[in-house]
Structure 1
Amino acid sequence: MVQNQIGEPWKTGLFDCQLNPANAIMTAFLPCATFGKIAVVLDGGKMTRRSGSLSYLLLMPLLCSQVVMGSKYRAKLRKKFNLVEAPYGDCFSHVFCSCCSLCQEFRELQSRGLDPNLGWNELLAQQAMQQGYPDQVQQPPHNQTMSK
């Protein structure tokens, strides 16, 4: 049932959830939280974790409408990194293995240096540091004390 064999392979398999047990457990109980983190990265910070999670959560009871959002963002991730649509199509993966799909997408972003746990602002700061632009990263002020 492989849809499209054009592109690069995923860094991990669809059913390799044990590679990140903390994320697998979180996704099993709160898939909306994992989706929110993924959406923030793929939307370039335009969506917040809260709004992504909330929209996913609200759509879940509506005839499994989260499949539409999940497969849309899976396709967006594949396009961004030129990934093959395998082992199943995006929609099929989210219909039958939505938690495994979210976990795989989360691991893919992590393996490419875009850790969804960090959030968009932290990712930008990390990238600026890696590219040698530390002056563009706002550092918190050093320890301050009050004196009379």
Structure 2
Amino acid sequence: MGRIEAAEEVETTVKGEPLASYPQNYQTGQPSSVGRPWSTGLFDCHLDQTNAVMTAFLPCVTFGQIAEVLDAGEMSCPLGSFIYMLMMPALCSQWIMGSKYRTKLRNRYGLVEAPYQDAVSHIFCSCCSLCQEFRELKNRGLDPALGWRGIIAQQQAVGYGNEQMNQPPQFQAMSK
């Protein structure tokens, strides 16, 4: 039970040529965690102190910002904040919405569900979870503090600047 068992050796090939062989190990009774690691850890709140303080006092605002980005502007930050705020006194049920959006973020970027399951992270470490989600989006170039429209405007400004730099100069001629 819970032991690592070795199966037969598996050969990998590239274009029909054997590359290497390695033992195919698996662990019984344990689900494998597949995915990319998060860009920061769950307890790395100190990496973005402004967001950490905001989340400590107003977690509903941080949730609203994250929800707006993940929903591509369909849910506004004020609406997301309001829903989260309503769920807080209702038997502390804000973890339901928080874990739903954490799962959405993980699925979008292929992130591993670690160090805890999404629901567990939001039940016991909701502020740390929100901060980690905020940092993940920010590290991927989607700063939730800007809002969805701000992100789109920023991307268009960067794209416009690149287009202008890549265009050859127009034909020039001298005249009297």
**TM-score, normalized by the shorter chain, greater than 0.5:** yes
**1:40 equivalent among 44, 65, 68:** 68
**1:27 equivalent among 48, 55, 61:** 55
Higher strand share: 2
Match of 2:98 in 1: 70
**2:117 equivalent among 82, 85, 89:** 89
* TM-score with structure 2 setting the length: 0.72
CA shift, 1:126, in A, is 1.5
Unmatched tracts of structure 2, length 5 or more: 1-29, 164-176
Evaluate the alpha carbon distance shift between residue 19 and residue 4 of structure 1 in structure 2; reply closer, same or farther with a 3 A threshold.
farther
Larger relative contact order, structure 1 or 2 (CA cutoff 8 Å, min sep 6): 1
Evaluate the alpha carbon distance shift between residue 83 and residue 61 of structure 1 in structure 2; reply closer, same or farther with a 3 A threshold.
same
Matched, 1:16 2:44: yes
Could you say what secondary structure the match of 1:100 adopts?
helix
Evaluate the alpha carbon distance shift between residue 20 and residue 59 of structure 1 in structure 2; reply closer, same or farther with a 3 A threshold.
same
**2:148 equivalent among 120, 136, 140:** 120
Judge conservation of contact 1:36–1:51 (CA < 8 Å) in 2: yes
Could you say what secondary structure the match of 1:15 adopts?
coil
Unmatched tracts of structure 1, length 5 or more: 136-148
* Percent of aligned positions that are identical: 61
CA shift, 1:131, in A, is 3.4
CA shift, 1:88, in A, is 0.3
Evaluate the alpha carbon distance shift between residue 78 and residue 4 of structure 1 in structure 2; reply closer, same or farther with a 3 A threshold.
farther
Judge conservation of contact 1:39–1:52 (CA < 8 Å) in 2: yes
Give the distance between the partners of 1:26 and 1:96, measured in 2 at CA: 18
Matched, 1:61 2:111: no
CA shift, 1:134, in A, is 8.2
Give the distance between the partners of 2:160 and 2:89, measured in 1 at CA: 46
Evaluate the alpha carbon distance shift between residue 36 and residue 4 of structure 1 in structure 2; reply closer, same or farther with a 3 A threshold.
farther
The root-mean-square deviation of aligned C-alpha atoms, in Å, is 1.8
Give the distance between the partners of 2:65 and 2:156, measured in 1 at CA: 20
For residues 26-70 of structure 1, the C-alpha deviation after alignment (integer angstroms, 9 at most, x for no partner) is 100100010000000000000111100000000111111100000
Structure 2 counterpart of 1:119, which letter? G
Could you say what secondary structure the match of 1:113 adopts?
coil
Structure 2 counterpart of 1:12, which letter? T
CA shift, 1:3, in A, is 6.7
Match of 1:143 in 2: none
Rg (Cα) greater in structure: 2
Could you say what secondary structure the match of 2:146 adopts?
coil
